[in-house]
Chains A and B, each alone.
Chain A
Amino acid sequence: GIQVEQSPPDLILQEGANSTLRCNFSDSVNNLQWFHQNPWGQLINLFYIPSGTKQNGRLSATTVATERYSLLYISSSQTTDSGVYFCAEANNNAGNMLTFGGGTRLMVKP
């Protein structure tokens, strides 16, 4: 089946620093999403990005489908960016089932 690997598993940043989170996937994708899970468990949609580059404020993401990876960039990090970041991908072979990576646990210190 599809495998999704995220790196790094844990990341500690000083407020104001920039970071790059990586997601590698094992098969061609029709759907790739990045989420931020807050301390209460809510998964917040960051990007829907099967290919190409998107930006939203301090966050941007790039997916290179032919090389099977996606990157999430966080610039000028803030303490509110802390939490777990998941990437998840799906194809149409199993009901648009999202397969999640193990997550990157980010802590931003003031």
Chain B
Amino acid sequence: ETGVTQSPTHLIKTRGQQVTLRCSSQSGHNTVSWYQQALGQGPQFIFQYYREEENGRGNFPPRFSGLQFPNYSSELNVNALELDDSALYLCASSSGGATAYEQYFGPGTRLTVT
């Protein structure tokens, strides 16, 4: 196991609702990245947080937002859920901020939007 934890494991929401997903980074890591993985595809980068600030963003709309806390844990918030938001959401922790270091993934949160 990587030491990265995520909650909840599974979640079912209705279109238009809002959701918050949580991630605790591995001990000693100060950077958290979030990825969305649709069924049958590779993960897609959403954004990264370092020192409590967004430090890079992929091609996702503003209704995807996040936070990082002083203990380096992080939240992913998605507003106005759409059916296409149904996916496995993965967080990864690493050290070094924007520098390319090895990333370690949590077990994921599987979100279903109906």
Contact = CB atoms under 8 A, between A and B. Distances in A.
Interface string A77-110: 0000000001010111011111111110000000
Contacts of B110: 41
B107 A40 contact: yes
Contact of B108 (A30, A41, A48): A41
A33 interface: yes
Interface stretch (B12-20, B65-73, B74-82, B97-105): B97-105
A41 B110 CA distance: 9
Interface residues of A, number: 27
A45 B48 contact: no
Interface string B80-106: 000000001010101011111111110
Using C-beta atoms within 8 Å of the partner chain, give the interface range for chain B: 20 to 34
Interface SS of B by simple majority: strand
A43 interface: yes
Nearest to A89: B100
Contacts of B30: none
Nearest to A87: B42
A97 B102 contact: no
A48 B99 CA distance: 14
A96 B42 contact: no
Given A101-B42, A102-B41, A31 B48 contact: no
Given A96-B101, A102-B42, 8 more contacts: A31-B100, A33-B102, A35-B105, A40-B107, A88-B42, A95-B50, A98-B92, A100-B43
Interface of A: 29-31, 33, 35, 40-43, 45, 48, 50, 86, 88, 90-92, 94-103
